[in-house]
């Protein structure tokens, strides 16, 4: 495998996986760079289902190995919401700023110490022949009372998610720190180990 198509239009996600896989000598391209401009409707009930659907679509369209992830935050005080609706629960085409404010508003009555949450990510790797491999990462933490850290486009929750055992939010960490700790980082670390055995 010399080329891997990442089924995303999110520049932040593309940058993360390109950094993580840079040592393997695999060219990581976005779906758009590979000529796939359509968005796949994320209508599955699980992170795994959405990830597989997206990766399979791009693998079929390009004839290349493709990878996709579906990630989300599950907030205990909100009964596990937003979950698979993480990017859309404030409405369609919602800006990052609105997602942050909407989430904090939903938690306005929840006190500090009762704002437990967990970030989940499933990465799906699909071959041109339709072979599927999935990798899952999870990190527990809390939703902060206010925004903290640097905003990265397409990753609004980084500013309000503080992983357990750390004083910083994801938004206050360097990309290297976050990649080794985050839900997506954990899923893609497993993916990287799998790819190392393939090459």
> Which residues on adjacent β-strands are paired with residue 138?
120
**Token pair of 84 as six digits:** 């698979």
Maximum CA pair distance of the chain?
Answer: 51
61 contacts 36 by C-beta, under 8 angstroms: yes
Query: CA-CA-CA-CA torsion for 148, 150, 152, 156, nearest 10 degrees?
Result: 10
70 is catalytic: yes
Catalytic residue among 43, 45, 70, 158: 70
> Which residues on adjacent β-strands are paired with residue 71?
121
Q: What is the rounded distance in angstroms from the CA atom of residue 165 to the CA atom of residue 47?
A: 25
Catalytic machinery residues: 70
């Amino acid at each position: 495998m010399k080329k891997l198509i990442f089924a995303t239009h999110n520049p932040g996600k593309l940058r993360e996986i390109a950094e993580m896989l840079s040592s393997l000598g695999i060219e990581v391209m976005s779906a758009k760079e590979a000529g796939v401009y359509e968005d796949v409707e994320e209508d599955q009930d699980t992170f795994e289902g959405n990830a597989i659907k997206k990766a399979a679509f791009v693998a079929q369209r390009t004839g290349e190995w493709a990878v996709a992830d579906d990630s989300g935050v599950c907030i205990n005080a909100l009964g596990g919401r937003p979950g698979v609706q993480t990017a859309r629960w404030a409405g369609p085409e919602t800006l990052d700023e609105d997602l942050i404010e909407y989430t904090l508003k939903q938690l306005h009555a929840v006190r500090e110490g009762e704002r437990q949450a967990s970030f989940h990510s499933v990465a799906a790797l699909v071959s041109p022949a339709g072979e599927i491999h999935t990798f899952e990462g999870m990190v527990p933490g809390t939703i902060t009372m206010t925004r903290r850290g640097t905003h990265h486009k397409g990753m609004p929750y980084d500013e309000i998610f503080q992983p357990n055992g750390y004083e910083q939010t994801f938004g206050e960490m360097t990309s290297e720190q976050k990649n080794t700790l985050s839900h997506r980082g954990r899923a893609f670390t497993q993916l990287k180990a799998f790819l190392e055995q393939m090459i």
